[in-house]
Amino acid sequence: MGHNVNEYELIPQTIRPSAEAKEAKEIHFERTTTVSEDEVQLHKRLNKNQLTAYDVIINRVFSNKAGAFFIDSPGGTEKTFLYRALLATVRSMGYIALATATSGVAASILSGGRTAHSRFKIPIDIDENVSCISKQSALASLIRDAKLIVWDEASMANKRMLEVFDLLLKDLMDTNVLFGGKVVVFGADFRQALPVVRNGKKEDFINQSLLYSSIWAKLEKIQLSENMRAKTDHAFCDFLLRIGNGQERLNATNNIEVPNSLIVPFTAERESLDKLFTVTYPYLNSSGYEASCTDSRVILTTKNNCADEINDMLIDQFPGKARIFVGIDETIESDNQSQFEDLLHTLYPAVDDSSTDYTSFVSLNVNPTGHSAVIENRNW
């Protein structure tokens, strides 16, 4: 113990550990992230508000000045697109940019994204004397070198978590400047989910949010307002904002009424669903059908069984002959399940692609045991 392998002179050359061996795999990934040319050009596709925010943040990054920003962006304003442009620009210059989010779903859509708990080793249950990262660790070195830190869905984080993050960066950077003088970009929409408080009420959720942290007043606020997902429907965008801002008028029963223009009137269940399908997928049964007709449209339901029923009804409307493939995601020996489960999930049933005009629609239905699935494909 405590000896160096080179002391034994096993080979003439000196044995030096590689960078990968010195640092954890995730740390090495952050330091060697490559950016495609398409990603580098993302900033050219930003709208006016997004570009203003981009310019302010990037200027702060490359002028080596501190900056703590909060991007207030209602759903549909594409703050994620702005994050991607920021991350790509910084990384393309050979610098480190860390992408994090409060939730795993939000983190998964960012390049190199990790949850903030995972990236900064912040425990779920935070006490007053929490110590997240050793200052001598490779992760601490990575954070010190980072030019930009992006934290999405900050509205869902408990204010104590964000305050610990501030203390962590101050400790790593040996300074009392907010967030250690790093350029940190938070983004969220307080009209959506707030921190979870067990057995809490509305006021408890609000009191535990970033809004009631001492950090909030120190953040530079940037507003995104243009709804990019529904920019051709201004009335719908305004309707969503009024609801989110609590400005939409209530009816006599203290409820918000949905405009008739957004409603498919109910007559009978099957008849109404057929009308919904026609409105949502108007070209489904036409000769000019294209895959984009279904790729960019979705019907949301509140229950899984409703989703299954609607899915089956839609599959029946696809032209062509149905084929059924049975896929098994359970190993023969139960002891091997944990070892090979990830591999099994990467396997797909073979598909005959001899027809050049083949397009598939897949429906996955898991049986009650959770071990097998039936996948239906229709080709035309």
Residue partners of 333: CB distance under 8 A and separation at least 6: none
The overall average pLDDT reported for the chain is 79
Question: In 10 A of CB 271, how many CB atoms?
Answer: 11
pLDDT at 100: 95
pLDDT at 26: 67
Give the β-pairing of 114-115 and 372-378: unpaired
* Residue 86: pLDDT band with limits 50, 70, 90: very high
pLDDT at 105: 86
Q: Phi and psi for 281 in degrees, rounded to 5?
A: -125, 75
Q: Phi and psi for 219 in degrees, rounded to 5?
A: -85, 145
Residue 364 has pLDDT above 60, yes or no: no
* Residue 219: pLDDT band with limits 50, 70, 90: very high
Beta bridge partners of 372: 328
pLDDT at 365: 37
Q: Which of 147, 71, 68, 154 is nearest to 107 (CA)?
A: 154
Q: Which of 41, 149, 19 is nearest to 96 (CA)?
A: 149
Q: How far is Cα 69 from Cα 151, in angstroms, rounded to an integer?
A: 10
Residue type at position 217 = A
More confident position, 54 or 301: 54
Q: Is 337:331 a contact under the CB 8 Å cutoff?
A: yes
* Residue 377: pLDDT band with limits 50, 70, 90: very low
* Residue 98: pLDDT band with limits 50, 70, 90: very high
Can you give the residue ranges of every domain in the chain? 5-223, 290-379
More confident position, 129 or 107: 107
* Residue 374: pLDDT band with limits 50, 70, 90: very low
Sign of CA dihedral 328, 329, 330, 336: positive
Q: How far is Cα 172 from Cα 345, in angstroms, rounded to an integer?
A: 40
Considering only the top CATH level, what class is 5-223? alpha beta
Question: What's the average model confidence in pLDDT over 23-36?
Answer: 73
pLDDT at 36: 87
The upper half-sphere exposure of residue 324, i.e. CA atoms within 13 Å in the direction of its Cβ, equals 5
Sign of CA dihedral 295, 301, 307, 313: negative
Specify the range with the lowest mean pLDDT, choosing from 41-45, 288-292, 363-367. 363-367
Q: What is the DSSP letter of 334?
A: G
**pLDDT tens string 50-71:** 999 999 999 999 999 999 999 9
* Residue 192: pLDDT band with limits 50, 70, 90: confident
Specify the range with the lowest mean pLDDT, choosing from 5-9, 54-58, 190-194, 331-335. 5-9
pLDDT at 5: 64
pLDDT at 18: 53
Q: Is 157:210 a contact under the CB 8 Å cutoff?
A: yes
Question: What's the average model confidence in pLDDT over 132-148?
Answer: 87
Tokens of 12: 């003439």
Residue 85 has pLDDT above 90, yes or no: yes
* Residue 345: pLDDT band with limits 50, 70, 90: low
